[in-house]
């Protein structure tokens, strides 16, 4: 857009010394602020600044604070951590960086095993999620446009209902005297109830169930764009359906698989509600450890160190996800 000259303020009406003020008033005053915005960067800057400042203040700075507190020592006060630096005299600052929290994480078995366990649970759940979601997304992508919308609505509908209540629903199903055990015993497959609550199995089910739409939707939006005549061509040339799937559909859908898997894996590592309701109390996931450290032990520095360690662990997957997301939005243009 070409820049146009600002309209000349009617200086002539006032003239003299007041003219300058009049001019300034027209430049910055309310009557022409939109025009001003159009010709200058100020308005644009304001529009940029509002979400920017919000996110800086409430998203980025909190992480810096967590990072800072992870280096301080716990103490009995409010807030329960020692300041990192103190003014000893007018010119000297006493900085106490305490790496003890991180050493503690590395040496105490509880934390290392909680991290490994969380990674394991998240990875296995993501895999199951993918195995269930792929045929579903494929089925939707291959159905007619009218039924497609109906299916998508059916997939998204549970997502709109409370996540907490959907996890809760599984308690009633998985309990020893729950629906699944009752049904299996009535059919005669089993004689006594299988313990499913408070096992890894229950946590897998909970995560797969809650995150399934997050896997299906990226996969669907990828599969929907596929040119299915490629498959017909492959079939005409004599490829078996399995071979053409492995050689054509699967490689083309890798971006969808990556996006869906990351959308499931990253939040699943830090999952708190599902393992609290369905999982065992013997082996804790890292989200639970963090919250216990914070609420039960009131050890804010160690909780912060746990959070920073978790962030470092998830940094690579988060960056891959962001790159994918940016490319996806650029591709939509």
Partner 1 sequence: MRLKGRHWFSKTGLWLGLAFLYVPIISMIVFSFNNSRLVTVWDAANSPTLKWYGELFANDQIMGAAWLSIRIAAMTATGAVILGTLAGLVLVRFGPFRGRALLSGMTTAPLVMPEVITGLSLLLLFVALQQLIGWPQSRDVTTITIAHITFSMAYVTIVVQSRLAGFDNSLEEAALDLGAKPGKVFFRITLPLIVPAILSGWLLAFTLSWDDVVVSQFVAGPGSTTLPMVIFSKVRLGVSPDVNALATIMVLIVATGVVVSAIWMRRQERRRAREMQMAVAANK
Q: Quote the Cα angle for 206-211-217, to 5°.
A: 155
- Examine residue 314 and tell whether it contacts partner 1 (CB under 8 A): yes
Report DSSP letters for 264-330, one per residue: HHHHHHT--HHHHHHS-SSS--HHHHHHHHHHTS--HHHHHHHHHHHHHHHHHHHHHHHHHHHHHHH
Interaction with partner 1 in 6-35: which residues (CB under 8 A)? 34-35
Instruction: Work out the burial of residue 41: count CB atoms within 10 Å of its CB; fewer than 13 is exposed, 13-18 middle, 19 or more buried.
Output: exposed
- Examine residue 254 and tell whether it contacts partner 1 (CB under 8 A): no
CB of residue 16 to partner 1, shortest distance in Å: 31
Residue 65 CA to chain centroid, in angstroms?
Answer: 20
Whichever of 14 and 151 has its CB closer to partner 1, that residue is: 151
Helices (H), 143-199: 145-160, 163-174, 179-187
The tokens describing 325, both together, are: 């997301």
Whichever of 161 and 195 has its CB closer to partner 1, that residue is: 161
Whichever of 22 and 321 has its CB closer to partner 1, that residue is: 321
Interaction with partner 1 in 190-229: which residues (CB under 8 A)? 209, 212, 216
CB of residue 152 to partner 1, shortest distance in Å: 10
Whichever of 71 and 300 has its CB closer to partner 1, that residue is: 300
Report DSSP letters for 68-92, one per residue: HHTTSPB-SSSSSB--SEEE-SSS-
- Examine residue 84 and tell whether it contacts partner 1 (CB under 8 A): no
CB of residue 270 to partner 1, shortest distance in Å: 2
Cβ 119 vs Cβ 283: under 8 Å: no
Taking CB under 8 A as the binding criterion, the range among 6-14, 86-94, 100-108, 316-324 that sits at the site for partner 1 is 316-324
- Examine residue 250 and tell whether it contacts partner 1 (CB under 8 A): no
Interaction with partner 1 in 97-126: which residues (CB under 8 A)? none
Whichever of 20 and 44 has its CB closer to partner 1, that residue is: 44
Whichever of 19 and 267 has its CB closer to partner 1, that residue is: 267
Dist. CA 48–CA 34, nearest whole Å: 16
In three-state secondary structure terms, 225 is: coil
Taking CB under 8 A as the binding criterion, the range among 8-16, 19-27, 94-102, 298-306 that sits at the site for partner 1 is 298-306
Binding mask 123-162 toward partner 1 (x if CB under 8 A, else -) reads ---------xxxxx-xxx-xx-----x-x-xxxxxx-xxx
Cβ 170 vs Cβ 206: under 8 Å: yes
Residue 250 CA to chain centroid, in angstroms?
Answer: 25
């Amino acid at each position: 857009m070409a820049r146009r000259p600002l309209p000349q303020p009617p200086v002539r009406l006032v003239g003299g010394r007041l003219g300058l003020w009049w001019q300034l008033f027209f430049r910055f005053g309310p009557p022409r602020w939109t025009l001003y915005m159009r010709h200058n960067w100020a308005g644009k800057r304001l529009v940029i600044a509002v979400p920017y400042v919000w996110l800086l203040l409430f998203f980025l700075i909190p992480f810096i604070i967590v990072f800072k507190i992870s280096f301080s020592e716990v103490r009995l006060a409010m807030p329960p951590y020692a300041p990192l630096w103190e003014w000893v005299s007018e010119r000297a600052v006493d900085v106490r960086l305490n790496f003890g929290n991180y050493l503690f994480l590395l040496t105490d078995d509880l934390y290392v095993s909680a991290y490994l366990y969380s990674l394991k649970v998240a990875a296995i759940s993501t895999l199951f999620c993918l195995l269930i979601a792929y045929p579903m997304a494929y089925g939707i992508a291959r159905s007619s446009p009218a039924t497609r919308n109906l299916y998508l609505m059916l997939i998204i509908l549970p997502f709109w209902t409370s996540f907490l209540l959907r996890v809760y629903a599984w308690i009633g199903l998985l309990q020893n005297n729950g629906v699944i055990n009752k049904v299996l015993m009535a059919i005669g497959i089993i004689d006594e109830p299988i313990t499913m609550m408070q096992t890894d199995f229950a946590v897998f089910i909970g995560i797969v169930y809650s995150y399934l739409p997050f896997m299906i939707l990226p996969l669907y939006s990828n599969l929907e764009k596929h040119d299915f005549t490629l498959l017909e061509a492959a079939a005409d040339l004599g490829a078996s359906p399995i071979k053409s799937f492995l050689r054509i559909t699967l490689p083309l859908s890798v971006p969808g698989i990556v996006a869906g898997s990351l959308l499931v894996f990253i939040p699943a590592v830090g999952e708190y509600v599902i393992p609290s309701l369905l999982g065992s109390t013997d082996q804790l996931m890292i989200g639970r450890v963090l919250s216990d450290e914070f609420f039960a032990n009131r050890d804010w520095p160690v909780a912060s160190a746990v959070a920073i360690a978790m962030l470092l662990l998830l940094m690579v997957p988060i960056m891959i996800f962001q790159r994918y997301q940016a490319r996806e939005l650029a591709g939509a243009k």
